[in-house]
Amino acid sequence: MSEFLNNEKNADALAKARAARVNRENNSSSVQLPNQGGKWVVAGILVLFLSVLLVSSNGLGYLKIALQSTQDTTVCPIHEPVVPQTYLNDKSKLYNIVHDEKFRLQSAKKLSGAVQVDTQIGDNQPDVPDAPEQWVQFQAFHDYLEKTFPTVYKRLQVEKVNTYGLVYTWKGSNDNLKPSMFIAHQDVVPVQKATLKDWTHPPFEGHYDGTYVYGRGALDCKNLLIAILETLELLIADNFKPQRSIIVAFGFDEESIGIRGAANIAKHLEKKYGHNSIYSLIDEGLGLTLDAETGQYIATPANGEKGDLNVHVFLSAPGGHSSYPPDHTAIGIMAELSSNLENDPYEPFLTSKNPILRYLQCLAVNTGDKLPELTRKAILRAGFDKVANSKILNLLLKNPMLNYLVRTTQSLDIVQGGEKANSLPEHVKLVINHRVAIETPFEEVEKHFSDQVVKVAKKYNISVEAFGEQVYNGDPNNGQFTVVVYHKTPAAPVAPSNDTVWKYLAGTTRHVFEDVVFTNLSYPIMMTPFSFTGTTDSKYYANLTRNIYRYTPGFPADFKENRVHSVDEKVPFDAHLHALAFYYEYIQNIDTPDADN
């Protein structure tokens, strides 16, 4: 019995032990299963989140940007300095051009004298043979140049094209070398009479204060014209004998399209030399800038130039006495159109056709960590990646200067209308200047413009004839809009920035500015492609050479700060001497077959 009880107790104990073990296992399972399930849920959510991020919110694009390398400097090589033998033999000549006070004063006197000769021109001037009295001021300027640079006039062949266009030719000894060419223009924009009281110094006094030469044309671009002639004068004095011929051309109506001056000079030279006959052409343009983002000096010759489209809008409307006016006069309606145009700017965009993309790529690969890494990576993908392109475009639009280079701009420059305070205006004229993006066809701009005119015309039931077509028929009694193209110039072909000509341009820039101007730099001066917002005489010479560069090689070169076309226009005289020094070395550097492509 006692044995049975003991066995029963043992069995009972074993049963309780088994039950306790099972209970523990059950409890353990009930705790662990939810944790394992939770892990799978979290993992699933994470995968879903990443999928949505990559597919739905451009996350894949940002991932590609993050993986982009920034180490490929072949995207924008920095070329070695190119130094002429004359500099190695005697460095003092170049140093004196930039730093000698006596030379500085002599040079300032020459530029000041050029500014003092008034060569203003307006729009729509008739050709020289048709109205010679409107151009006689240029004879006084020619007389000044011949008096100031007698050795140039004695040594070089000087031709006059259409009376006031100037062409200087210094014949080289090697006819197998294409001539180099340098151009500028003699004319200046008018000074608005209402602004005369606002000038610190009279606009045609040519005042020099030791730092600047002030006056109309000091910066645009008699500085360049005088620098070129000073260079020739110095080289003649050095007994320089060029192998490569040198051609210098000065138009006289660049500020009014250039059809009287540069256009005729170009035809003359094409007839004389033929197509693709010029080594390179350097015109007015950009120079060296101190880049705000990187703190580095960068040379930016413009190898591209935006198109130019001038549109005139005429509105005719019934006249009458001002004592019983309509709700909206012709001036009021034109004002509404003006407001609508300015409130509907052209969309920005950036493509690989625009030299600005190459400019940015040069910054991305050559300035180290001066730019944020993600920005550099995005720049290098912006030519083919929509996400990267959008990111860079947004950055450019925040830059007060670069944003003009990634879109077509419009500027409402002239409005005319009305004759008397008590008479309703019967005719109103509006002039709009467009600087057309390199990639944009004129037809697109004209359509955009026409749509805005029709929008206003429909509101007032006014007929519209735009660009030779009747595009809206309103009530003839209400008036008529007429839209015409006054002038248009296509965007210039983009010049090469990867050939030997570019290499010599960049190498000479490095030599002059690193060896003589900024002698303590810790980095090489980089030359990058760029685009010019203005239109220059260079457009007429496209048949003569592909290598056209709009480059005024000096620092500082801030057109806005130096008041180009405005009150107190001035040129920093250091920049003038830099340009002179560059031309002096460049002409000698390229005087060899080695400089050819």
pLDDT of residue 399: 87
How do strand 288-290 and strand 297-299 relate by DSSP bridges? antiparallel
Query: Known binder of ligand: residue 185?
Result: yes
CA distance 371 to 363: 8
Q: At which residue do the structure tokens 């749509």 appear?
A: 451
pLDDT of residue 10: 40
Query: Using one digit for the tens of pLDDT, what is the confidence trace for 370-404?
Result: 999 999 999 999 999 999 999 999 999 998 888 99
- Split at pLDDT 50, 70, 90, the class of 26 is very low
3-state secondary structure of 330: helix
pLDDT of residue 70: 75
For the purposes of burial, counting CB atoms within 10 Å of the CB of 543, is it exposed (0-12), middle (13-18) or buried (19 or more)?
middle
Cβ-proximal residues to 57 (8 Å cutoff; 6+ apart), any chain: none
Angle made by CA atoms 169, 173, 175, in degrees to the nearest 5: 85
- Split at pLDDT 50, 70, 90, the class of 29 is very low
DSSP assignment string, 451-487: HHHHHHHHHHT-EEEETTEEEE---GGG-EEEEEEEE
CA distance 83 to 597: 18
- CATH (one of 3.40.630.10, 3.40.50.1820, 3.40.50.2300, 3.40.30.10) for 91-124+135-303+493-595: 3.40.630.10
Cβ-proximal residues to 256 (8 Å cutoff; 6+ apart), any chain: 121, 122, 123, 124, 125, 187
Query: Known binder of ligand: residue 283?
Result: yes
**pLDDT, the chain, mean:** 91
Two tokens at 1?
């019995």
Q: What's at 410, amino acid-wise?
A: Q
pLDDT of residue 44: 61
Nearest by Cα to 131 from 160, 166, 167, 164? 164
DSSP assignment string, 236-292: HHTT---SS-EEEEEES-GGGTTTTTHHHHHHHHHHHH-TT--SEEEEEEE-EEE-T
DSSP assignment string, 190-245: PPPGGGGGG-SS-TTS--B-SSEEESTTTTTTHHHHHHHHHHHHHHHHTT---SS-
Averaged pLDDT for residues 143-167: 99
Averaged pLDDT for residues 414-423: 96
pLDDT of residue 22: 39
Specify the DSSP class assigned to residue 188: B
Query: Using one digit for the tens of pLDDT, what is the confidence trace for 280-332?
Result: 999 999 999 998 888 999 999 999 999 999 999 999 999 999 999 999 999 99
pLDDT of residue 24: 42
Higher pLDDT, 402 or 360: 360
pLDDT of residue 6: 36
pLDDT of residue 1: 34
Averaged pLDDT for residues 572-594: 98
Averaged pLDDT for residues 241-264: 97
Three-class DSSP labels, 338-389:
HHHHHCCCCCCCCCCCCHHHHHHHHHHHHCHHHCCHHHHHHHHHCCCCHHHH
- Quick count: other Cβ atoms within 10 Å of Cβ 238? 13
pLDDT of residue 291: 87
285, 536 in Cβ contact below 8 A? yes
From residue 58, alpha-carbon distances to 44, 379, 388 in Å are: 21, 16, 10
* pLDDT greater than 50 at residue 15: no
Residue 138, strand partner residues? none
Instruction: Give the dihedral sign, CA 419/423/424/427.
Output: negative
Buried b (16+ CB within 10 A) or exposed e, 355-393: bbbbbbbbbbbbbeeebeeebbbbbbbbbebebbbebbb
CA distance 228 to 582: 10
* pLDDT greater than 50 at residue 20: no
pLDDT of residue 73: 79
CATH 3.30.70.360 placement within the chain? 307-347+407-490
For the purposes of burial, counting CB atoms within 10 Å of the CB of 23, is it exposed (0-12), middle (13-18) or buried (19 or more)?
exposed
Instruction: Give the dihedral sign, CA 189/194/198/203.
Output: positive
Query: Known binder of ligand: residue 434?
Result: no
- CATH (one of 3.90.245.10, 3.30.70.360, 3.90.180.10, 3.40.50.300) for 307-347+407-490: 3.30.70.360
Two tokens at 15?
């049963």
pLDDT of residue 71: 77
Q: What's at 59, amino acid-wise?
A: G
Two tokens at 269?
């030279």
pLDDT of residue 563: 83
How do strand 409-417 and strand 463-466 relate by DSSP bridges? unpaired
Averaged pLDDT for residues 461-468: 98
Nearest by Cα to 226 from 148, 166, 287? 148
Q: Which of 35-44, 100-109, 267-276, 512-521 has the lowest mean pLDDT?
A: 35-44
Q: What's at 179, amino acid-wise?
A: P
Query: Using one digit for the tens of pLDDT, what is the confidence trace for 481-515?
Result: 999 999 999 999 999 999 999 999 999 999 999 99
pLDDT of residue 564: 87
pLDDT of residue 67: 61
Buried b (16+ CB within 10 A) or exposed e, 511-536: bbbbbbbeeeeeebbbbbbbbbebbb
From residue 201, alpha-carbon distances to 62, 109, 204, 212, 557 in Å are: 54, 16, 8, 11, 21
CATH 3.40.630.10 placement within the chain? 91-124+135-303+493-595
% of the chain exceeding 90 in pLDDT: 83
Averaged pLDDT for residues 474-484: 97
pLDDT of residue 59: 65
CA distance 142 to 139: 5
pLDDT of residue 316: 98
Q: At which residue do the structure tokens 């467009």 appear?
A: 434
- Split at pLDDT 50, 70, 90, the class of 534 is confident
- Split at pLDDT 50, 70, 90, the class of 54 is low
DSSP assignment string, 530-550: EEESS--GGGGGTTT-S-EEE
Q: At which residue do the structure tokens 């004068």 appear?
A: 233
Q: Which of 42-56, 94-108, 203-217 has the lowest mean pLDDT?
A: 42-56
Query: Known binder of ligand: residue 220?
Result: yes
* pLDDT greater than 80 at residue 188: yes
Active-site residue list: 187, 254
pLDDT of residue 213: 97
> pTM of this prediction?
0.87
Query: Known binder of ligand: residue 207?
Result: no
Q: What's at 423, amino acid-wise?
A: S
CA distance 566 to 440: 29
pLDDT of residue 272: 98
